[in-house]
Chains A and B, each alone.
Chain A
């Protein structure tokens, strides 16, 4: 069995990894469907062209201008299956209905936990010990479809996204392979029960509140590294020696050279910060909690 598969993503390494896995399983990737991220909201500016020029030579590349174009553009390439990960649009039912075997979506959480656009940030912020990789059959709601394959990834110590994500590559491939195998066998997956939807962080989440527990502050600072906000806010902010800075790394144990601050229930070490841009500093002072 060889399926014509369309890959839908905004993330270049996902395109490369999915393309390779699909071919190894004997399927035929036929197109990349992506969108132009003109505001660099979903990734670095270079990703637009990394995707378009990096896609295998035999893929048609489709950049729809609007959601209503998804169905006709997909129909043009006659997919048996769509595999999707990291695409910001909610997919309308007519586009979901195009491929015979539907849309296989990857969501980086232990669904039904942490549905929504920034699940890793929410897992970290919630104090979870692990995140997940879930491949599920996409339905008309967000991240709610029947689960085909799932893996657990321990969260360990805080780590930069740019070193954390690439480490997960092999596990994504393994999970995708299992999901494809189940789809090929005609399995329908396990229906999700319960779960919640969490949206982007907002300005309300921007400031660290040292009256809270050290662990809570630690997790919020860490989670901002994995978060996005639609209102332009970017935490975690803290006033140190009278100046607002962005906290990049914190530790619950003493680290040489780190600044110790006192939280509601004990100390936290501020390991790394960065200065705010002039514009951010102006904005943040207007928003700084009055209790500070």
Chain B
């Protein structure tokens, strides 16, 4: 059995990783479908990473998904990190549906920034769940799930590359189950939760809260994003000047700045200055 597969993503290593796993299992990646207007640099990298035998499709709107997909006749779509909600008619194009990789232990942390929410919630692990996409967000039956411990929190560009092998294994297993005709495990009604982007109320670190909460919020922001143009956290006024906190530690780190939280100390390991634009956004919302 060899399926024609379309890969839908905005993340270059996801494209190359999925492409390799799909080929290893004897399937044929035929196209990558991505988008522009969200992150120009990311789009450029996806295009540059695309193997030369893949068509590259960049729809301008959700309505274009169906005809563009139909033109490449997929048996299966494999998707991770694509910001549009997929309409039912596009879900219906490939006969084996859409396999979505969501980076959480579903039904926990549905939504666009699940890793940020897992960190913020104090979870000690994230997950990768491959599920059959349905018309709601991140709600379809789960084929494969793997737990990925966070360990010591670290920046996304250090952490995510380490998750590649386990995500690849999970995808291979999910494909094996799909090939065997398995339908997956339905996510129980009413289980789980949907969490959207962080917002204005999440921007400032509140040092009256417990240290672990401030620590988790600061790190959560490293994995979060905003699409509303609002200020990105975590922001803290240091000596009267708001800065963005990039890394914190619950234990003493040489050279770090110690601050007192509601229940004990927190060490500010790394900060960056706010841009002028961000500083202007910060002043009216100053806590």
Contacts and interface: CB of A to CB of B under 8 A. Distances in A.
B47 A69 contact: no
Interface centre among B47, B57, B71 (most CB of A within 10 A): B71
B58 A57 contact: no
Contacts of B70: 76
B52 to A, nearest CB: 6
Contacts of A52: 36, 43-44, 47, 58
Nearest to A75: B71
A60 B54 contact: no
A73 B60 contact: no
Main secondary structure of the interface of A (DSSP, over half): mixed
A285 B237 CA distance: 67
B21 interface: no
B59 interface: yes
A65 B36 contact: no
B60 A57 contact: yes
B153 interface: no
A193 interface: no
A73 B36 CA distance: 18
Interface size, B (range):
20 to 34
A158 interface: no
Interface residues of A, number: 23
A53 B38 CA distance: 11
B72 interface: yes
Given A57-B37, A76-B68, A62 B43 contact: no
Contacts of A75: 67, 71
Nearest to A64: B55
Nearest to B59: A60
Interface centre among B37, B55, B70 (most CB of A within 10 A): B55
A53 B55 CA distance: 17
Interface centre among B43, B55, B60 (most CB of A within 10 A): B60
Contact of B43 (A53, A59, A60, A69): A53
A36 B56 contact: yes
Contact of A76 (B36, B43, B47, B67): B67
B57 A62 contact: yes
Contacts of B53: 65-66
Interface of A: 36, 38, 48-49, 52-53, 57-66, 69, 72-73, 75-78
Given A65-B54, A69-B72, A72-B71, 4 more contacts: A36-B56, A48-B47, A61-B58, A76-B70
